[in-house]
Amino acid sequence: MSGELDEPQAGSSYAEDRRNPEVNWAWVPGGVIQRAGALGPRSWIQKVLEQIADSPLHWVTPSEVVPVAVLAVQRLEDEPRDIVRKPPRYCYDVTISDRVYQEKCFLDPRLNFLVYKNILKVGIEMKMFRVSCLYNEKRLGQGILCIDNIHCGEETLDTISSATPFRNSAHEEIPERPLRGGKSHYLALWNNEDPYGDIWLTNKQPEEYNFNHTKIIFLAHLEMSWTNRRNYPALLVRIMHKSRLRYYGRPNKKMIEPYQTFLEVADSSGTVSVIMWNALCPEWYKCLRVGLILLLQDYSVKKSFPFRLQPLPVDSQIKLISTMEVSLNLQDPPSNITIITERQVKSEWRLPKLNHHFITISELDDMPEKQICDVVGILVFVGRVQRLKKKENSEDFWTYHWIHIADGTSEQPFIVELFSTSQPEIFENICPMTYFMCTQLKVVRNNNQVPKLLYLTTTNENRMFIIGHRGQPYVNNTKIKNFIHWVKTKTDSGEMKNTVIGGYYPYPPVPETFSKYSTSIKVQSLLTAMSEVRKEIESLQYREQKRIAIQGIITIIKYISHSSATGSSSVSETLQKVNQPSTSQTAIKESQSQELDGKQDDGSVSAQTTCTSLSPPKKKRILQGLFAKLVPIPQPETSPQTRENIPDMPCIFQCIENASTGIKWKARKTLTHRWESQLWREKKFGLRDHLRYSFVYPESIPRKFVFKHKKFLIQQYNCQPAKYIAPEERPQKLTDFKSARSLGHFEITILGLNHERAIDVAFLPLYHPEDIQISQIDTLLACMNYSCVYPQKVTDSEKMPGPRALAGDIIKAVTELDRVHVISILDICNLGNNKVEVYLHKIYRPDNAP
């Protein structure tokens, strides 16, 4: 993928300096470099900088283009500029290495889209075709290398040496600073909530304090008298809640560290909000935790913000003070914060204790909507990190996981929508088989839809813990003791090893009717025209997932088994790349479409006959005839008499036991079920646009979690890091890890109502963490109607549906939908690096459809 600009970046001319008459030196951005006579390998970065120094244009196209490795992609807030069009809010510094030197460069903002799509990322090779220089005119000799035109490699390098020195020693200084802009630090690469970089301190410790000359006031007394005071006595309080960070920076604001966080603190008389501002946040945020005792001095008090909803006190006997709030800042006045050791606490202070409101899974069903609770359990599923745009047309995103927490009180787990809580050291390292505690979760439920909606989501004060429970104040809680006992029994039996990580996660489910769906979502346009789908897909950024609704007609359904998907991956990926913008796009698309469709026509069957009104014997003969045309019938090695009792059906799975005969028979590993409508044959060659997004990438397959390789698996399902991390073991691939799914997937083609455009999408049947032996097989139609990712177990008395039932339901479903206008709910997922998937989540048939 290339990024290029048509106009050169203007710069300043260079001056030459002969400090040493015996050596030829040249001024280059960021310092002085020796031109000749250096020992060791020649640096390509150095040669390029020398070309810029000699260029009257102040930008160059290097005479020799050598691949460089990308070691870091770091985000910062851009500084205000006087340009007509609205500039991007953020810009990026990119650290490269030519294996001789490292160099930190500035990425021209017009190439930001390469980062948005995760095309420009750490660990790849990159070719730079045009570079320029940008000077900081407020500093002497501070020139930086600017990247104007690049081509990014698609493959991640196995190993990159990060031991090469920086050419400019200023880039090695600690704390690390951006090349340009008025900010003193970098932001987290994919959200604004996580503290990132070395400005965030962790060295504040509790200390012994002499209270002899310190006057302390209770919060309730302060509430009554703060308007009449100029100087406020000290507050001695305990932290009851701590919010996530809020970054409120803007390019036109001159705040160097524009952060804000809320602490809910309490003493024996009440609880109040404390707001920590700006530079105090990097100094204190990571040092403060819930439960610590603080002595606050030189603070300010003001009237509280009327629209902020405070969390409820942990003790119902403590008064909630909502008329005022306490502010802590480095100025006006400079606040003084001291962490007091627990052993100094006196009983007469009557400081409140932490009081957790733990619930179990068995109790969740009785919890009302928006109820706040705490949970503890063991992680049995951790989904991949996804991103959600905060506002339409915004550059800011939330990051979140879907996770499952088991506590032994129910067959079902807690389903939790876990947003980043400014704890990246935990959020980026959670994995299955981990003891997990989560506080301040909110209940989300809707009992009026099918399936019933019930899950937990994070709040602004949510905190996560993944450490052991020994020594914690809540270990004496009865529910905690029961959980610890249950975990020991499960660990000993080995049942906890069957856990899952990553993959596409279709949650929350949509309601059973389109009318309910239309009232449950908040979008400007309920339906997306087929002509607008490409724009919707191309607008998504890395790990962003969006749900849309389109109208159309299902014309093809094809089942792809695991082995078939592996074998056809190269073809599918090629078709995916056809959707990317290209000058030769049309010609490639037409030739590949005709070639692929031509091959599929030979084996296709039009199954428009409705089987519902036929008698069972006739129905069986028709289905057997349809299946016989689809694929050859496997013949088990049995006697002719026994063979007559075996259903003539193609087998989807490798080994199935026949219910009537008890005989096991094997099927081909690459068998494919396919149905195509006559309408598709009539319209497919006259399409104006055919989007192909039915390929399922390895990242979207949930994998069996292997604790031995947890670092690799966690890294694969997290967002791309800002800095290169060398692998600790030999390079691996996701396909080396066993899928948690027993079924393959479906490729479905939806034709627009005007018969001008079509889209290929994927459909993944449900999976279960114990789905090795197919504990439950959901048919195509059942999955679309009930999008539950954690289905009920099948009891021993129930018969597991075999391939005959599954294939029969598929044929029946598609024949009933032939030429029927349907509303399809699609999930669009951008995996980065030009990898996009579109999944069919649900099908509605509107009442007024023809």
* pLDDT at position 4 over 60: no
- What's the rounded Cα separation, in Å, for the pair 143 and 29? 4
Quick one: average pLDDT of 272-282?
A: 95
Q: What percent of the chain has pLDDT over 70?
A: 72
Of 342-356, 368-382, 489-503, 804-818, the least confident? 804-818
Which pLDDT score, from 0 to 100, does residue 332 have? Answer: 77
Burial 361-397 (b: 16+ CB within 10 A, else e): beebeebeeeebbbbbbbbbbbbbbbbebeeeeeeeb
Taking residues 544-548, report their average pLDDT: 94
How far is C-alpha 783 from the chain's CA centre?
Answer: 24
Count CA within 13 A, CB hemisphere, residue 830.
24
Report pLDDT for 324: 94
pLDDT at 730: 77
CB-based burial, 445-482: b 16+ in 10 Å, e otherwise: beeebebebbbbbbbbbbbbbbeebeebeeeebebbee
Phi, psi of 807 (to 5 degrees): -65, -40
pLDDT score for 797: 45
Q: What letter does residue 593 receive in the DSSP assignment?
A: H
pLDDT tens digits, 102-129: 999 999 999 999 999 999 999 999 999 9
Q: Nearest 5 degrees, angle CA 199-CA 203-CA 209?
A: 130
pLDDT for 143 equals 78
Determine the pLDDT at residue 393: 83
- Window from 1-10, 493-502, 603-612, 697-706 with minimum mean pLDDT: 603-612
**From the CA atom positions of the chain, what is the Rg in Å?**
31
**What is the reported pTM?**
0.81
- H, E, C per residue of 258-327: CEEEEEEEEECCEEEEEEEECCHHHHHHHHCCCCCEEEEECCEEEECCCCCCCCCCCCCCCCEEEEEEEE
Residue 465 DSSP class: E
Q: What is the dihedral of CA 114, 119, 122, 124, to 10 degrees?
A: -130
Mean pLDDT, residues 708-726 = 93
Per the DSSP assignment, residues forming a β-bridge with 274 are 263, 326
Confidence check: pLDDT of 148 > 70: yes
pLDDT digits 0-9 by tens, 374-412: 999 999 999 999 999 998 888 999 999 999 999 989 989
Predicted confidence band of residue 79 (pLDDT cuts 50, 70, 90): confident
pLDDT in tens, 561-580: 766 565 444 444 555 554 55
pLDDT of residue 630: 34
Cis peptide before 67 (omega within 30 of 0): no
| Nearest CA among 45, 39, 396, 125 for reference residue 250 | 396
pLDDT number for residue 450: 80
| Alpha-carbon span 45 to 49, nearest angstrom | 6
The winner for highest mean pLDDT among 219-228, 620-629, 633-642 is: 219-228
Question: Quick one: average pLDDT of 709-738?
Answer: 90
Q: Which of 8-12, 395-399, 811-815 has the highest mean pLDDT?
A: 395-399
Residues 6+ apart with CB under 8 A from 728: 711
The more confident residue out of 427 and 6 is: 427
The CA-CA-CA angle for residues 509, 511, 514, to 5°, reads 130
Shortest CA distance to 680 belongs to which of 596, 745, 611?
Answer: 596
Which residue has better confidence, 251 or 92? 92
Residue 464 in 3-state DSSP?
Answer: strand
Q: Is the pLDDT of residue 69 over 60?
A: yes
Q: Tell me which of 345 and 72 has the higher pLDDT.
A: 72
The closest alpha carbon to 419, from 401, 434, 440, belongs to: 401
- Asked whether the beta carbons of 77 and 251 are under 8 A apart, the reply is yes
Candidate from 229-238, 277-286, 584-593 with smallest mean pLDDT = 584-593
Q: In the 8-state DSSP scheme, what is residue 181? A: S
The residue whose two tokens read 């997290």 is 718
Tell me: pLDDT of 286 over 70. Answer: yes
User: Considering the chain, what is the average pLDDT of its residues?
Assistant: 78
What's the pLDDT at 793? 47
- The pLDDT of residue 416 is above 70: yes
Cis peptide before 451 (omega within 30 of 0): yes
Q: In Å, how far are 373, 400, 426, 430 from 418, measured between CA atoms?
A: 14, 5, 12, 11
